[in-house]
A and B are shown apart, each in its own frame.
Chain A
Amino acid sequence: MAQTILQIKNLHKHFGKLEVLKGIDLDVRQGEVVVVIGPSGSGKSTLLRCINYLEVPTRGRILFKGEDVGHHEVNGRMVPLPERALDKQRAHMGMVFQRFNLFPHMTALQNVVEAPIQVKGLDRAKAEALGQKLLARVGLSDKAHQYPAFLSGGQQQRVAIARALAMEPDVMLFDEPTSALDPELVGEVLQVMKDLAKEGMTMVVVTHEMGFAREVGHRVLFMDGGVVVEEATPAEIFTAPKHPRTREFLAKVL
């Protein structure tokens, strides 16, 4: 059995009085593709954003390769860990955002090579060779010197994936990567993600794309109201969902 790379233990998140996550437990193994589905407001995006600490959890633990992310508990109290440690951990977790968040003042290639050069200290020539290779991998070799404003949404999201891959992450986190795209552009992004999964990338994907979940996911989590309601293989959850809320949700979206 493959090694566990990501562990989430009893994760809670409050926004003021609103409790968005009510105790999430999740283990992700190396090479696994975990797909998180559920209605909006179910807490699935917040869960993903807590994993790399863009959202600070209220309680609970996140372990990345066995090490606490962001804080650790001392006598039941949350004690923040140094930012520098967090920066290092984030460098090994790729994140893809719903709205791409490409750096608009940089070309596609500059977006991809920025972190390898600035964070890892890779020399420019090596970084650009890597950047070109990654842009080729997402099918955008010819767009290397274009600014994001001149790329379609699907192209921007593929550059964003290349940017995340450039740090050679151990896990990729996808936060509704196709939700902001025109329908005809969804396919090209999903294809890149499918290829990544085939190559053995560990992935946690929050999505409304049930086809992707069914085809690519090793495990599907259905979240609702801040808890994981049901967790199963795609075959199980899509053909014989056990929980009535899962059935209700799937009946609406399928």
Chain B
Amino acid sequence: MSEFLQHSQRILPVLLEGMGMTLFLTAVSGLLGTVLGALTALARIARNKVLVVVASGYVTLFRGTPLLLQILFFWGVMGQVLPKAPGYVFVIFALALNAGAYIAEIIRAAIQSIDKGQMEAARSVGMSYGMAMRRIVFPQTFRRLLPPMVNEAAALTKETSLAMAVGVLEMMKYSQQFVSRTGNIASTYIWTAAGYLIVTVALTSLATHLEKKLEARG
């Protein structure tokens, strides 16, 4: 037991350093993915068929292939074009594109879950399609979006661990390096798991809390 504590003392500062990069990757690719996802969702329900096809193609491609492959692809291909850029830039690119595809579906589902009567009522008082979307439909989707979006953030946090495949120094990579240096497999990975859990549990309990709060408002 004392051995475990000893190891722990040495692991924690290392993991903490990796945690910074993990949170950075999550936050930046999450924000970019949200913008991309919102635009894609609008394109998917647009009247313009070209937009619909392009958006659907993007979503299918990025949801239908492994994220690891996407990371390796962008790291490899973009790395040749921009050899001086740090590796995490390409990882963020891949994570954002991947998250954007999932978020697009979340947002589209939320928009389409709003009762058709809302759009009709808005149009019947003379609002344009755009105004009705902006003033009536979107504000109602925000409340429905919050819980799944927070869950998506939790998923993204775990997915950033794939960045280790291209050598980005985030929590998983630090952890793996520590294992190969010291051989302390169990305690290292247990602490790493705890590091991810702190973030994901915080996020999912926030989602649950928001869900309850929004339900109460009716």
- Verify if B213 is at the interface (C-beta below 8 Å from A): no
Report the number of A-B residue pairs with Cβ-Cβ less than 8 Å. 71
Q: Choose among B117, B125, B143 the residue that contacts A99 (Cβ–Cβ < 8 A).
A: B117
- Verify if B118 is at the interface (C-beta below 8 Å from A): yes
A99→B117 CA distance, assembly (Å):
8
How many A residues are at the interface, by size bracket? 20 to 34
The residue of chain A having its C-beta at the shortest distance from the C-beta of B116 within the complex is A101
A149→B143 CA distance, assembly (Å):
15
A97→B120 CA distance, assembly (Å):
9
CB pair B120 A101 closer than 8 Å: yes
- Verify if B209 is at the interface (C-beta below 8 Å from A): no
CB pair B126 A105 closer than 8 Å: no
How many B residues are at the interface, by size bracket? 20 to 34
CB pair B128 A83 closer than 8 Å: yes
- Verify if B155 is at the interface (C-beta below 8 Å from A): no
The residue of chain B having its C-beta at the shortest distance from the C-beta of A91 within the complex is B126
Chain B contacts for A95, CB-based, 8 A: 120-121, 124-125
CB pair A167 B126 closer than 8 Å: yes
- Verify if A90 is at the interface (C-beta below 8 Å from B): yes
A91→B128 CA distance, assembly (Å):
10
Chain B contacts for A150, CB-based, 8 A: 218
Chain A contacts for B126, CB-based, 8 A: 87-88, 90-92, 115, 119, 167
Smallest CB separation, A110 vs chain B (Å): 10
A sample of 12 more A-B contacts (CB under 8 A), given A54-B120, A95-B120, is A91-B125, A91-B126, A102-B121, A103-B121, A104-B140, A105-B139, A105-B143, A115-B125, A149-B217, A150-B218, A160-B121, A163-B121
